[in-house]
Amino acid sequence: MSGTTPADVVCLGESMVTFLPSRPGRLADVPSFDRGIGGAESNVACALAAAGHRTAWVSRVGADGFGDHLVEAVAAYGVDTSFVRRDPARPTGIYFRTATDRATDVHEVAYYRAGSAASAMSPSTVPCDGLPAGRILHLSGITAALSADCLALLHELTAPRAGRPLISFDVNYRPGLWRGESAGVLLELARRADVVFVGEDEAEAAWGVVGAAAIREALPEPGVVVVKRGADGVTVFSHEPGLRPEPRASNAGGADLQPVRRLRTGGPGATPPVREGAGWGEAPRSGPDTVTHVPALRVDVVAPVGAGDAFAAGFLSATLRGLPVRTRARHGHLMAAAVLTVPGDLTAPPARERADRLAALGDDAWGRLRLGPGWTGDDTEVRTT
């Protein structure tokens, strides 16, 4: 990507060196680990770059060997890493995890990221006017949990301003990372965005909101809300003016935020910290949402990690191409299936022609698909039942 060519997507957030277990079991019992990379936002950047889009990753890493590895590994996917800064005083974050699903009680993650270089991101170290130009800016709630400075940066990036790109926000609620109020913070950031990705389970855990319709009621401003429902697929609420909205047609600025019903954000019946008349957010929707439900694929899962980031990448890729909402969600499912059938957080996505062909299947054929390891490069692994 040249210095004068804007990125399709700019992703900002911490990436870490990950240590993946050589076999299942408790961290105390695993004898060895394989080194990889992982970070919600850099995962999205890498997946989009591998799918042929121009992407840039913005972050901070330590002036250490792990920082070298991160920058080199992300750049190898074709991501512009020229906006990653080195911090000589703080280390690059690392973490160890087990091979089990995050949703299970036996899953373990050991983070070594407190005081990391990325936690020092702030409005002064990452000024808005110093970001690369891009059509979409992708952020996640993980960054908000890293430090007060990181939260201040997200507030600035999501504030209304002339020329603000479309904001994509993945809630990515990680209770173990938060040391203070999380629910209201994540709700406020999500309501400032244009496209929101949120799981039913995390919405219930963070906000006490149950069900896709209630989640949309809690997030009335974004043009697109993607509710991830696990094995039941996704429900997408869309009421969008387009990829490059004018200030009063999106959360990029102008109109007042409207109050929503009371949610659990810090205590039973607490009111979300979203100010009426805050000067940002979109005006009340003038018509009903389009509601699109897209079933998940059946996948022979190798490792249940990285699927959420891959889904976001597939959905945003199709958004950039101007495809219909249903097709965007199917591309998200296909990208997620690619990651679910490998051990790590990242893998090569299916070729665009192939993904387009599968995304265009009729409902019955889509429902019969079963994808296993190697399916992205071998037609024999795309099975129907």
* Measured distance CA(297)–CA(371) in Å, rounded: 8
* Measured distance CA(31)–CA(24) in Å, rounded: 10
Q: Which amino acid is at 29?
A: D
Burial of residue 3, with CB atoms counted within 10 A of its CB: 0-12 exposed, 13-18 middle, 19 or more buried:
exposed
Residue linked to tokens 């109109």: 255
Q: Sort strands 16-21 and 7-12 into parallel, antiparallel or unpaired.
A: unpaired
* Measured distance CA(150)–CA(152) in Å, rounded: 5
Name the catalytic one among 170, 194, 309, 345.
309
Closest CA to 156 of 183, 182, 131: 131
Q: Retrieve residue 32's tokens.
A: 């060895």
* Measured distance CA(214)–CA(37) in Å, rounded: 35
- Annotated active-site residue 309? The verdict is yes
Query: Sheet containing 195-199: which strands, arranged edge to edge?
Result: 84-87, 55-62, 7-12, 134-140, 166-170, 195-199, 224-228, 234-238, 290-294
> Cα separations (Å) of 188 from 81, 117, 192, 260?
29, 25, 6, 12
Q: Sort strands 382-384 and 369-371 into parallel, antiparallel or unpaired.
A: antiparallel
Q: Retrieve residue 378's tokens.
A: 């071998």
Dihedral, 149, 12, 85, 162 alpha carbons, nearest 10: -80
Closest CA to 64 of 38, 94, 96, 87: 87
Catalytic site residues?
Answer: 309
